[in-house]
Structure 1
Amino acid sequence: MAEHPHATLVRKGYEAFQRGDMDTLRSMMTGDCTHHVPGSHPLAGDYKGIDSILDGYYGRLHSETGGSFRVELRDVLVDGRGHAMSVHRFTADRQGKHIDESGGIVFRIVGDKMTDLDECVADMDKADDFWT
C-alpha cells in the first residue's frame, strides 16, 4: 500500500532539514506558515512566515549548537484530513550541555504545503535548560 501523501511530505521535509536544504523546505511551506516552539527559553515562540522559520528558527538551531543539532524521524501518523504528526529523536550539544530527547511536530497541511507546525517535546524542563 502506498504511503499517504501527507506522510511523504513530512518525510521529505525531515530529509531536507537534515541536509540543510532550505530551498526544498521553502517550497514545502505556505508563505504565512507558522512554526510554534514550546517552552520558556530564548528560541521558544511563534515563527511566522518562511523566512522567520528558516532563518530565525532553523538557522538559530544550527548556530546555537555549532551545527550539531540532529533529528531522527521515527514515525509519521496521518489523519487523512490535513494533519500529520511526526515522532522524532533530537540530539545537540551547546555550551557544554548535551541533549538527547524525544519530540514531535503536529503539521497542518493544505493541498501539498505545510501551513502550521506545532512542536512538542517529551521533557519541557530539559529542553528549557538546554536552550537557556
Structure 2
Amino acid sequence: MDTLKEFQRIMTTQTDLALSTVGTDGNPNVRIVNYYFNPKNNIIYFATFKDNKKVQEIDQNQNVAFTTIPTNGNEHIKARGIAVRSKKTVFDLADCFCDKIPDYENTIEHAGNLLLLYEIHFKTATVTLDLSNIQTITL
C-alpha cells in the first residue's frame, strides 16, 4: 500500500469528518463537520457558526481528534491535532469548499458572515483501507 497516496486520495474524496473536542465540562464531544484538506500544507479547514458550542470548547482546549466518515467500505483517516482559528475566512476558501462540496455554495452565500474558519494541524495520521491494511504515516 502506498500509504501517502491513499491518505491523499481519502482526504480529497471524503467530505465529512467526525470532530471530537473537549467540552467545557472536561468531557468529550463529537460532531460531524464538512471539511477541505489542503495537500500543500497538510491543513484541514472547517467552518462553524460563531455561536456554536465547539467554538467555546476549542477556545478553552485546542486538542482535537477526528475520523473521516467512510464513503467506500471502511476507508478512513484518523488523527489527533490542534484546532486554531484561521486567519483566512470561509470566503477565502470558497472555491475549495465548493469544488469538494457543491452544495456548500448555498451555505457560504446565506451564512458566510456568520461562520468562523478553523484549521486542524496534525503531524501523523492512521490510514485504514480495510481490516488488513492499516498504517500510520508522518506528514
TM-score bin, normalised by smaller chain: under 0.3
Q: Which has the larger radius of gyration?
A: 2
